[in-house]
Structure 1
Amino acid sequence: MKALVLAGGAGTRLRPITHTSAKQLVPVANKPVLFYGLEAIAAAGIRELGLVVGDTHAEIESAVGDGSAFGLEVTYLRQEAPLGLAHGVLIARDFLGDEDFVMYLGDNFVVGGINGLVERFARERPAAQIMLTRVGDPRQFGVAELGRDGRVVGLEEKPERPKSDLALVGVYLFSPAVHDAVAELKPSWRGELEITDAIQWLIEAGLRVESSVISGYWKDTGNVADMLEVNRLVLESVEPRVDGRVDGASELIGRVVVEPGAVVERSRIVGPAVVGPRARVADSYVGPFTSIGADCSISGSEIEYSIVLPRASIAGVGRIESSLIGHDVEVTPAPATPRAHRLVLGDHSKVQIS
């Protein structure tokens, strides 16, 4: 079995961060979300990976390399525009050949990995196998309709009037039969080749499409709220570790990781939290569920439930929470402005805050 990871999306819901960064490389717990998916694929025993990339291909190729760091052999497949998930399958036809494959969306996060899903597919060999989860607003997702026997009878992509609350999770398994389906597709009203239409084609052709409703954790990390929630979830499982320097005037409470080269001075950090390599935290409070990236500087400030990307600087700010702060951002005080802050800052921004 091979794997196909789609990492060509533009990430419009994470603007302005994704004006300058690939959405799949935005970190949770100081590790790019894409890496969690690559690790899950390798853990399932898959070695050959096709990675579909778009305009951010240089950044993703630099981060992933040849895949050997993950135990994978990576082939890069260039998608000229985000033309839909089924288009990703279309351009990967030569790479995939006539093998079964798992398709994984590069900005999705699934707790527990995909080992069981892969084993079930190999055992039962349907034409397709999908994962579903119940969501509050199905209109934002591909939606499945199940018959009385639990079989998938229909799918729609982002329907105005959903027939169920069962959304497709961004992990799919396919036999080579899906290539016949993709070859027959026409662009949807969104101008994309929809994978839901391909699966619907398989159903109408009388082929077996299996599903499982997961009760575990899944997130499409396409917006700030979901990024922060995944960051919280990952930090829940960190083990405390201090590889940097923490002075005697500082206090670490709970599960706190201080990476090599990091310095904590006269500060209080309440975990779970991570302070990245060579970062400096001085005269500050870092609250739970906060990830501070490499080479950041936090001084005279308070921050909680936030993600701070590498090389950002926060100085003299009373309180920041529920925020995603980009690379090389500077946050500094300014007089006569409101004290409550909620920020989504693009890379290289500079913001003054009282």
Structure 2
Amino acid sequence: MRIIVPMAGMGKRMRPHTLTVPKPLIPIAGKPIVQRLVEDIAKVCQEPIEEVAFIIGHFGAEVEARLIKIAESVGAKGTIHYQEEPLGTAHAILCAQSALKGNVVVAFADTLFKADFTLDTSAEGTIWVQKVEDPRPFGVVKLNEKGQITEFVEKPQEFVSDLAIIGIYYFKDGEYLRNELQYLLDNDIKDKGEYQLTNALENMKSKGSVFIPGPISEWLDCGNKDATVYTNQRYLEYIKDEEGLVASSATLNNTVIIPPVYIGENAVLNNSVVGPHVSIGNNTQVDGSVLSNSIVQENSKIKSALIANSMVGNHVVYEKTPADLSLGDYNTLRD
């Protein structure tokens, strides 16, 4: 099994947090979004992962090294592939064409999920879907009476279906997918100005491929600050019974912890109330503050603050009393 992770986008909706780090490396309950995604897919597949192929922009050697380690954490080889310009989902996947062979899962790195099924690798293709109230911003699928997918529609402005494609796909034959993606580029077949994966899926279906929906119990978006804070909350609820959510090297002085929380290595908390649903990164110090439903990343200092529904980046110094906060890396803010 191979996993292909397109993640070359700039993450503009997550600024300022994506000015210094790609969005998929923003932590959720102590681990980068993309690591959570890869680990969850590996659990659903329940078979060895041979390769994780990351499709990125030019993020630098440090980011690439972190991605390789994420692949190694699930026992796989990590490979790096570049998308030089944003030409659509089909083009992005084809940038990792050397990984398009055998059983393949394609997973876009701005979404997480909770699923209660095991992937059927004998199926020709599985498309993860979730019912949504407003399907217009999404690609959607229509089903027949057998529960098979009969149509793929990209961002329908009139109602077609409320089963949204969440951005995770399984293909039994990676080479076949590669050929269909290449066909779109060779013949300049675009939808809304871009090469779309849904066009390739439609072509494959018209040639007899049978796709089935992969039901999930919860779809978690990481597209903006509020959505990411909510995803952190939900993930902490998922893993609240796991060991090690509060690092043994963390120091808690006269501090009340309201679980579930994640507290990283060498974090120091003094005279504070932390939780519920707070993630604090490595080497961060919190003094005389109350934090709830928030993400504070690494090497930051929070003092005399009341913080809720917030994201604070790396190397931030903060002394203030907001109710709702979004501070990127290397900011200093005091009263």
**Structure 1 and Structure 2 fold alike (TM over 0.5):** yes
Matches within 5 A, 1:218-297: 218-236=219-237, 237-239=239-241, 257-297=245-285
Return 321-330 or 30-39, whichever deviates more.
Answer: 30-39
Which of 201, 212, 215 is 1:213 aligned to?
215
Cα distance in 1 for residues equivalent to 2:243 and 2:178: 48
Tell me how many residue pairs correspond in the alignment: 325
Residue 3 (str. 1) matches residue 3 (str. 2): yes
| Residue 254 of structure 1: aligned partner | none
TM-superposed deviation, 1:137? 2.6
Residue identity opposite 2:68 in structure 1: G
- Taking every aligned residue pair, what percent have the same amino acid on both sides? 31
Cα distance in 2 for residues equivalent to 1:15 and 1:188: 29
Residue 60 (str. 1) matches residue 63 (str. 2): yes
Which of 97, 100, 114 is 2:103 aligned to?
100
TM-superposed deviation, 1:204? 2.8
Cα distance in 2 for residues equivalent to 1:352 and 1:189: 48
The 8 Å contact of residues 252 and 269 in structure 2, kept in 1 or not, is answered as yes
Which of 134, 150, 155 is 1:158 aligned to?
155
Which of 133, 137, 145 is 1:136 aligned to?
133
The 8 Å contact of residues 249 and 265 in structure 2, kept in 1 or not, is answered as yes
The two structures, once aligned, show a CA RMSD in angstroms of 2.3
TM-superposed deviation, 1:168? 0.6
The 8 Å contact of residues 42 and 71 in structure 1, kept in 2 or not, is answered as no
TM-superposed deviation, 1:320? 1.1
Cα distance in 2 for residues equivalent to 1:151 and 1:3: 23
Closer, same or farther: CA 238–164 of 1 in aligned 2, 3 Å = same
The 8 Å contact of residues 202 and 209 in structure 1, kept in 2 or not, is answered as no
The 8 Å contact of residues 138 and 166 in structure 1, kept in 2 or not, is answered as yes
Cα distance in 1 for residues equivalent to 2:10 and 2:74: 24
1:168-208 Cα distance to aligned partner (Å, 9 max, x none): 12210122322232123246455432111211222233332
1:117-152 Cα distance to aligned partner (Å, 9 max, x none): 2xx1x323x2x3211101233222221122344322
For structure 1, which runs of at least 5 residues remain unmatched after alignment? 243-256, 334-338
Residue identity opposite 2:85 in structure 1: A
Matches within 5 A, 1:298-309: 298-309=286-297
TM-superposed deviation, 1:162? 4.0
Closer, same or farther: CA 328–209 of 1 in aligned 2, 3 Å = same
Cα distance in 2 for residues equivalent to 1:240 and 1:197: 42
Cα distance in 2 for residues equivalent to 1:212 and 1:240: 27
1:207-258 Cα distance to aligned partner (Å, 9 max, x none): 32222333x122232222222222122212233768xxxxxxxxxxxxxx43
The 8 Å contact of residues 10 and 82 in structure 1, kept in 2 or not, is answered as no
Residue identity opposite 1:178 in structure 2: L
SS at match of 2:151: strand
| Residue 332 of structure 1: aligned partner | 319
| Residue 328 of structure 2: aligned partner | 346
| Residue 91 of structure 2: aligned partner | 87
Cα distance in 1 for residues equivalent to 2:228 and 2:196: 25
TM-superposed deviation, 1:159? 3.0
The 8 Å contact of residues 2 and 48 in structure 1, kept in 2 or not, is answered as yes
TM-superposed deviation, 1:161? 2.8
TM-superposed deviation, 1:8? 1.7
For structure 2, which runs of at least 5 residues remain unmatched after alignment? none
| Residue 304 of structure 2: aligned partner | 316
Query: What TM-score results when the alignment is normalised by the length of structure 2?
Result: 0.88
Query: What TM-score results when the alignment is normalised by the length of structure 1?
Result: 0.84
